[in-house]
Structure 1
Amino acid sequence: MTRIAERDLPRGTALVTMALAACAGAVDLLAFAGLGGVFAGVVTGNLVVAGAGIGTGGFGKIGSAVLATAGFTAGLVAWSRLWRRRPRAILGQLAAEFAVLAVVAGGWLAARGRPGPVAAQLLLVLLATAMGGQSITALRLHSVTTYMTGMITGALHDLVTGRSADPLAALRQIAALVAGAMLASAVFVVARGAVALLPAGLVAAAIVVRLLGERAAARRRRTVR
């Protein structure tokens, strides 16, 4: 399939990155509420948790924070290397993330939403790996889905300096992340065993939108020719 430049898919790309931000919100809610009280996609938060544990002698969450950070780093490296020569192969990167999240969903369902300590740590690492990979995919889509502090910083800087091409982009991403966390929290309370299906479902939606967008863009290019 011919890879399409991102400027040819403005609407599709915005929808994809919003779905991924919602996924990140859902993943972090799942990790924090169900897998040890740490985050899958917020390295800063995990470093603070680890530092607090060391400083106060509360060592219970340090291991989880370290594992989540290691998983996130592994995802960054894997997605960077696997697609370093094909950075625009977005569908492949999304498919890989979906596969990891599907494994997590299967493990969560098998444990009926209450995995044991070892299984919980494994699921946490997989979630963090998926978020690291997603961060690379978002970077290649010229967006942010997990690092909202950086997005707010960049958006405000661009707004003040008059460089912002899309001043609403940051608001869309933040709103999507919060919406994903809200939806996941509601599902967690009402149907805990099914909450892990939400992140995979959101990435599946992103894949469909991206696929349709690439096909539409390819048709437009053929028409122009």
Structure 2
Amino acid sequence: MLTIKNLKVNYGYVNALKGVDIDIKKGKIVSILGSNGAGKTSLLKAISGLVEDKEGQIIFDEKDITNLSTEKVVSLGISHCPEGRRIFPELTVEENLKIGAYVLRKSKINLNDEFNRVYSFFPKLKERSKQVAGTLSGGEQQMLAIGRALMSKPKLLMLDEPSLGLAPIIVSEIFKIIKDINKEGTTVLLIEQNANQALKISDYSYVLELGQVVTSGISQDLLNDESIKKSYLGA
């Protein structure tokens, strides 16, 4: 579904990505692990068209999307749920979700069907549909951010640190929902500092260090890898 070839991202004199190669197969969950500053968020921003100074090639569904605008990337079927949620706090839950569906405005897709689909994953959002988003709990705001990303009917859902700052019981709920979203047919690219959880729910994983892929493999194999345990799993 997504192939990244020799991707380089620069912020002035800083080389955030230094020739990254990644393949993501349709219907899978792929996780990207790495410490702060490894280049994980830059990778998602490059795919989404949010950084201009980049080299290499990004192929999605056999189309070169390397230099496409963000709106075009979303319309092709990629949705990005950013780190920090970035909801619109002054708008209601329903209004936030409606904004996520803006690329469907010219399609024949029934918007109510998309609301119902999101509410099937996040019943709490339906209960709070008229509530101002800024008054939601942290976990509910994360659910809203993921739900908003789903409203564009993505083929590929990219999640940047969905468990950040959440209580363990909410983290478990979020990861279960991510798995359910994938089972319904959505491919997921997951960036997550909770490496243990990410490896448990993903099919394949890449490890980034200082802008480069240093290892990759089947997630279950990496979960049992002693060097990965030592570096990322607290062993």
Judge same fold: TM > 0.5, yes or no: no
The structure carrying a bigger helix percent of its residues is: 1
Q: Which has the higher contact order (CA 8 A, sep 6+)?
A: 1
The structure carrying a bigger strand percent of its residues is: 2
Q: TM-score, normalised by structure 1?
A: 0.29
Q: TM-score, normalised by structure 2?
A: 0.28
